[in-house]
Structure 1
């Protein structure tokens, strides 16, 4: 409901014209959260065929399947960048939609060139490991949440990430380079400012804390610490994916989410935060 209201507000012509990127972020998050909510509703259907036994949930596997599908799609996007011919096809698609300049590396590579793979380096392996760890962590976190019947915890994690994306963009646009002349990581992501990261993470943590108090069994200060940790780690995950994309000369990792790239572009802020949160949630539970 929160994301739906935000998306509806941003869909107003005036706001959509002024904040097109925020509109696309809200829309892509709405699609993913709608799919996740649908899986949750179906997974909560109980089987009461044996009154003497506790109710069972025969469709709980849908939640695991949802994360596995994200993992398969993200793995395909990674593999596509490793394959030079498939990468050329992706770049031509991005250029055709005006999402990538023609001066990017590999932009003149023919999609009919012989099948060949780029040589993997440490960054490729690090990013791939981080993504696999994310998928495993999401499945483990969902199982822990289900066992403890604390269903709002996963949504709290996702909201903290979403608020961070939006708050960083807004704070960076309003305050960018007014306090610090240099960017956050100019060689990796020239558009990111220190002000956006600093004030955006604090704003995102406050907003996520308000929902966390309602969605989770945690006290307010634990929600605040968790939300701020997710925001800061979200910045690190975003920079990791930006470095991965820059190395391969692409603006986005896909075109599946109209206007906002592929699955990897949407889950980059979860790469580091979710595994760490899952670990602490398991240890402190």
Structure 2
């Protein structure tokens, strides 16, 4: 009730530059929390990790014109394609867990790389969608981002409700014992309803079949993003990624689904289609 109005205000009321800076801060906080998942337990190490992540993103951001179809830039396009490859690889890590953990369990470098592959494309996906159609209509990109967020929130909420009511068959018991196949189906049904309503009533200029395909893939990616963070938290022996949001855990606990859904949706809509 508190966060959703704030998110909508950030999307529609703030100029792109301020939006980018807020996204940058969110990514730095996510990097701070990922440090714990990567095995950096001391506070100074994690602070430096957050600072270096912010510095890297800021340097990359300077190469992007203020208002442009930014996805045409090689840096952004490559980041989105790389995200698609990373989440396909992450799917294999989840499917073969805990055997797959033998590859990266004792390697800080690999876990740090996985964090960069999660956070950096998420940053670019947010920028790509926010700048989509900006020249013609300043709010087009805001609508697209709101759509993806509603889609992810719908999957999460639907999966929770259907899982509580009907859940019997575990989805990934070795990674996240609470998730069920019934919950996944319920989450996808909820996101499909949101996609249908949004497609009818929101000003989105896109072929319905394209929207459906992109939405289904993004919804599945959001579930994968949640499972991947759960896998890394399980290996790190922690329940929440942080305590920045009272009652919700850390930043990563709130955006884990979005870190997968946003860049994958942006890649599918802006590059594949």
| TM-score, normalised with respect to structure 1 | 0.65
**Higher normalized helix content (fraction of residues):** 2
Q: What is the CA-CA distance between 1:278 and the residue it aligns to? A: 1.1
1:196 and 2:183 aligned: yes
Cα gap change, 1:147/1:158 in structure 2, threshold over 3 Å: closer, same or farther? farther
Alignment CA distance shift 1:218-1:35 (3 Å): same
Match of residue 9, structure 2, among 19, 38, 46: 38
Does the CA-based 8 Å contact 1:145-1:153 persist in structure 2?
Answer: no
Q: Equivalents in 1 of 2:133, 2:236: separation in Å?
A: 37
Residues 224-248 of structure 1 deviation map (CA, whole Å, 9 limit, x = unaligned):
3332222111111111111111111
Whether contact under 8 Å (1:80, 1:86) holds in the other structure is no
Distance 2:27 2:165 in 1: 35
Does the 8 A contact of 2:226 with 2:257 survive in 1? yes
Moved more, 63-72 or 210-219: 210-219
Determine the C-alpha separation between the residues in 2 that align with 1:187 and 1:121.
24
Deviations 1:2-43 (A, max 9, x none): xxxxxxxxxxxxxxxxxxxxxxxxx4xx51x43333334443
Counterparts in 2 of 1:185 and 1:121: CA distance versus 1, 3 Å: farther
**1:130 corresponding residue in structure 2:** 118
State whether structure 2 residue 208 is matched by structure 1 residue 241: no
Asked if the contact 2:34–2:115 (Cα under 8 Å) also holds between the matched residues in 1, the reply is no
Question: What is the rounded CA distance, in whole Å, between the counterparts of 1:41 and 1:135 in structure 2?
Answer: 18
Structure 1 residues 206 and 273, CA, compared in 2 at 3 Å: closer, same or farther? same
Sort the Cα spacing of 1:64 and 1:172 in 2 relative to 1 into closer, same or farther, 3 A: same
2:246 aligned partner: 258
Distance 1:272 1:252 in 2: 18
Count of aligned positions: 207
1:62-77 correspondence to structure 2 within 5 Å: 62-77=18-33
Worse-matched range after superposition: 268-277 or 118-127: 118-127
List alignment gaps of at least 5 residues for structure 1. Answer: 1-26, 44-58, 88-117
Q: Which has the higher contact order (CA 8 A, sep 6+)?
A: 2
Structure whose alpha-carbon radius of gyration is higher: 1
Q: How far apart are the structure 2 equivalents of 1:211 and 1:279?
A: 20
Note if contact 1:204-1:231 (Cα within 8 Å) is conserved in structure 2. yes
8 Å Cα contact 1:160-1:227 kept in structure 2: yes
TM-score, normalised with respect to structure 2 = 0.68
In structure 2, the gaps of 5 or more residues are 45-105
Change beyond 3 A, Cα 1:256–1:218: same
Cα drift, residue 135 of structure 1: 1.3
